[in-house]
Amino acid sequence: MKNNPYKILVALCILTMFIVVGVTATQFSNYRQESNQFATQIQNNQALQIQRIARDVTTLLLDTKTFDAQTIYVYDLVNSQVIFEKNSEVPRNLASFAKIILARMVLNTPLVDTDVCITEDALDAINDQGLNIGECYPTPEAIKAMLVSSSNDLATALGSQAAESGIFLDQYLASQNIDMIIYDPSGYDFGQQDQASHGYAHDVLMSAYEILVENPEIAYATTQERYVLGEIVLQHTYPNVENIPGLRFAKTGYTALAGGNMMAILEPIPGSFIGIVVMQSGFDTRFHDFESIATSVWSAYSITR
C-alpha cells in the first residue's frame, strides 16, 4: 500500500506543532520560575535593607542614652549583627543567668523526660518559695517555674539530679565552647567573689535563643506574670513582664555582688528577634535600662511596619 505524501506532510506538521508547543511551554515555565525567584530575591533584599535601617536607627537612639548598667548588649539574633554594646567583652557575674545555661543543658538530655524531686539539699538553697521535700515535678514544668521565679531550690534540685546522671555543667560548657565558669547551678555567689559564676552577655543570649527556637513553650512561660507549679503560684521576678510588647523570653538575675541583670528577647516584627542583655546594674535600674532599650528598639522597628 502506497504512502500518501499529503498525509505524511500533515502528520509532520502536527508533530512539529506539538514539539514547538512543548518547547514553548517549557520555556514559559522556566521563565515563570525564574521570575518568581527574582521577585522573591527582591523582596528578601528589601526586607534585609529595611532591617539594616532599623538596626542603624536603634544604634543612633541608644547612642544618645545613658545607662546604669556596666554592660549592655543588643543583638540581632537572626542576622547575627551587634546593634549596640557597652563593655560586652568584659565577663560579668552571671547570678541567675546561670539558670538559663542549666535549662539549656537539661533540655538537651534524657532528663527532660523524667521528674525532678525536691531534696533537703535543694531546700537549703537561699530564698525558699514553698516547695517541700519529696515533691516531684515533670522536668519541663520545673524548668519553667525555675526561670519564671528564679527558684534556687529548683535549680539546685535540677543540677544535683543532672550530676547524679553524670551530666555536669563544666563539661557541658566545654562541649559547647561556651566561655563561662559556673560554680553553682543556681548562679548564687554566696557573697564571695571566688564563688561568682561569670561569663559574657553574648553567650547568655545565644543560650536563651536556642531555648526559644527549640523549646518555645519554655520561653513562652517566661513571658507570663506567674506560673503555677502543682499547688504553688510563683510570681515572675520581672514585675512588668506582661506589659512589654513582642516579648518572647525574659530572665532576671540579682545578687548583692553581681548587681542587677536582665535578659530579654523581643520580636518587634514577625520573624525578627532582637536580644537585650543588661548586666551589673541596680536592683531597679536594670529594669529601667532594659525598658529604655526596648522602647528604642520598638521605635526604630516601627518604620518597617
Residue 1's pLDDT is 45
Confidence of residue 81 (pLDDT cuts 50, 70, 90): very high
Q: What is the pLDDT of residue 128?
A: 83
Domains held by the chain: number: 1
Whether 15 maps to a domain, the answer reads no
For residue 292, what are the domain limits? 50-304
Strands 247-255 and 232-235: what pairing? unpaired
The Cα–Cα gap between 227 and 196 comes to 28
Helix (H, G, I), strand (E, B) or coil at 180: coil
pLDDT digits 0-9 by tens, 158-198: 999 999 999 999 999 999 999 999 999 999 999 999 999 99
**Does 219 reside within a domain?**
yes
Query: Under 8 Å CB-to-CB from 146, ≥6 apart: which residues?
Result: 99, 102, 103, 154, 155, 158
Spatial separation of the C-alpha atoms in residues 161 and 116, rounded to whole Å: 7
Find the mean pLDDT for residues 145-151.
98
Using alpha carbons only, how large is the chain's radius of gyration in Å?
A: 28
Residue 165's pLDDT is 96
- Establish if 166 belongs to a structural domain: yes
pLDDT tens digits, 278-287: 999 999 999 9
Does 45 map to a domain?
A: no
Tens digit of pLDDT for each residue in 210-221?
Answer: 999 999 999 999
pLDDT in tens, 22-48: 655 566 566 566 656 655 565 566 777
Domain contains 37:
no
> What pLDDT does 129 receive?
86
pTM here?
0.85
Residue 290: inside a domain: yes
N-terminal to C-terminal alpha carbon distance within the chain: 77
The least confident of 90-94, 122-126, 182-186 is 122-126
Residue 36 falls within a domain, yes or no? no
Q: Is 265 within a domain?
A: yes
Across the range 255-266, mean pLDDT stands at 98
Residue 114: which CATH number? 3.40.710.10
Let me know: does 255 contact 249? Beta carbons within 8 Å.
Answer: no
